[in-house]
Chains A and B, each alone.
Chain A
Amino acid sequence: MNHRLETTALWSAYVLLFGGMIFVKNEHAIHIAAQIVILGLFAISFNILFGNTGLLSFGQALFYGLGAYVTGMIAKKFGGDHFLWALLLVPLVAMAVALVLGALSLRLSDVYFTMLTLAFAQLVWGITIKWYDFTSGDDGIQAIPKPEFLAGGLHYYVFAFLVVTVCLYLLWRLHRSPFGTILKGIRQNPTRVNFLGLNVFRHKLLAYVISSCFTAIAGGLYAGLDGSIHPDMFVWTMSGGIILMTILGGMRSFFGPIIGVAVFVLLEDVVGRSTQYWSFFIGAIMIVVVMLFPKGIVGVSRQFAGLFAKKGDPLEHS
């Protein structure tokens, strides 16, 4: 079946492309690839909320920053050997925070939910900047130590790639599970799901907690990438950037968001070398995509590849 073919093709492309980076000797290329997989995990977990459940959170940067700061602060204080368990602590902290914030913000719907998530993230950003003694404020945290075996660009890339791949596999299983189907049902018509005997709020909350948990893992991985983190990871432009990348890649597809991230990061790298106005190009591309191809890069590819079910759209399986 076509959607199976598409799933296989996208998973193979992911593994071959990013797994194959291991054999590339270019440090810069490996660094770019690491950025793509880490931000890709952020975008795909964000899309569990956005594309699947229909919840537009404008504050997921909160969890990205949270993951980075939990990892960074612990490793900085206790030394590089503590980096790994700090990273293991990240999902637990993120789930606890998400449970509280989700329980508060999911009481509201639509744009009110979006605004509240934005407000929480800005609040945490404000605290991070002002609470200098605890977070080092605007200076951020530099020279975050890592264990010996993760030192060097290639080693850390392999580590990040493996962690992200495991996370993506779990998210993909979730996306395909009955729970994933319920989330899609909630996106399309929450009242109807209610009539089927399901507590919509509880399912939304669970989606929010899971999404935030994986977003925080991405943040934790980022802390080890350059060893340098900054309060800007919490700020609304970070959340907004992820929304843009997700739409660019295609929010109705599991892999769409990471494709959006790849295009975004590569453009920033390539165009950024010749002009500081690279964001102008990103903006122009976004306008074209949203106006001409609202289903994103994956949506367009589906049309070109003829991956169309006989009547209308392909199923959103991959």
Chain B
Amino acid sequence: MDEILKVQNLHSYYGKSHILFGVEFSVNKGETFCLMGRNGAGKTTTFKSIVMLVPPKVGKVLLNGREINGLKPYQAARLGLGLVPEDRRIFGDLSVKDNLLLGTSSERKGYWDLAKIYTYFPILLEYQDQLGGNLSGGEQQMLTIARTLMGNPDILLLDEPTEGLSPVMVKVLKDLVLKLKELGTTILLSEQNIKFCMAVADRLVIIDKGHIVYEADVETFRADEDIKKKYLAV
């Protein structure tokens, strides 16, 4: 299978604090891969290291087989990394449409354009002239994902997308991710919401205190109650 993203022996630091200890996994084309773990386990740091916002001291990140270590975040984005950050901040003072158009900045062509986005996200069409800041939290999350899709990334990185969303919005988000899967989108997802992860993911790893402690496909994980108790405190 084609490996879109490969992370090899990643060691990252915040100043002198060692945060990631040899994190390794790879995401294949078209699959939804989930990075699970508790708060503070290193999920967001892993994402930040992949997009080179916190460049890893040791280890490699390969995108489509090409090493991207040492690139700036904007260069990584241009090569096809589409990050939807955890705090999902949109550009509150720009209209929804301008937010979306900013997403085309990487000048990557592909499936997604404004018309497609409006078909999949009708709510954004309705609010296209509103300021982004006036949308609800869930709508802002949709806008952030849509904006990232506008850049036609090779892989979509969703950092804790369900955090702080109402159960209704989590359901909407789940349906959206499933639709994106049908379209063949490659997704790397970080989550602590086990149900959400099991509903959308194909494979997963668990990260704990900066170490990858478990790797399995979602069916094996579903059956493994001990693992859930041990690392995810269910």
Residues of A bordering B, CB below 8 Å: 1, 178, 181-182, 184-185, 187-189, 191-200, 252, 309, 311-313, 315-316
Residues of B contacting A196 in the complex (Cβ-Cβ under 8 angstroms)? 74, 77, 102-103, 105-106, 147-148, 151
Q: A197-B78, A197-B106 are in contact. Are A192 and B131 (CB under 8 A)?
A: no
- Count A-B contacts at CB 8 Å: 81
Among A181, A182, A189, A193, the most chain B Cβ lie within 10 Å of the Cβ of A181
Q: State how many angstroms separate the Cβ of A14 from the closest Cβ of chain B.
A: 24
What are the 6 closest A-B residue pairs judged by CB atoms, nearest first?
Answer: A197-B106, A197-B77, A311-B134, A197-B78, A196-B105, A198-B105
Q: State how many angstroms separate the Cβ of B104 from the closest Cβ of chain A.
A: 8
Q: State how many angstroms separate the Cβ of A115 from the closest Cβ of chain B.
A: 26
Q: Which residue of B lies closest to A3 (CB)?
A: B129
- Evaluate contact between A194 and B92: CB separation under 8 angstroms: no
- Evaluate contact between A184 and B85: CB separation under 8 angstroms: no
Q: State how many angstroms separate the Cβ of B49 from the closest Cβ of chain A.
A: 14
Q: A192-B91, A312-B133 are in contact. Are A182 and B102 (CB under 8 A)?
A: yes
CA distance A196 to B81 in the complex (A): 9
Residues of A contacting B93 in the complex (Cβ-Cβ under 8 angstroms)? 184, 187-188, 252, 313, 316
Counting chain B residues whose Cβ lies within 8 A of the other chain, the interface size class is 20 to 34
- Evaluate contact between B134 and A312: CB separation under 8 angstroms: yes
CA distance A316 to B102 in the complex (A): 16
CA distance A189 to B90 in the complex (A): 9
- Evaluate contact between A197 and B107: CB separation under 8 angstroms: yes
Q: State how many angstroms separate the Cβ of B109 from the closest Cβ of chain A.
A: 13
**Interfacial residues of chain B within 26-43, with CB under 8 A of chain A in the complex:** none
- Evaluate contact between A194 and B133: CB separation under 8 angstroms: no
Q: Does B72 contact A (CB under 8 A)?
A: yes
Partner of A188, one of B91, B103, B148: B91
Q: Which residue of A lies closest to B84 (CB)?
A: A195
**Interfacial residues of chain B within 142-192, with CB under 8 A of chain A in the complex:** 147-148, 151
Partner of B102, one of A181, A191, A309, A311: A181
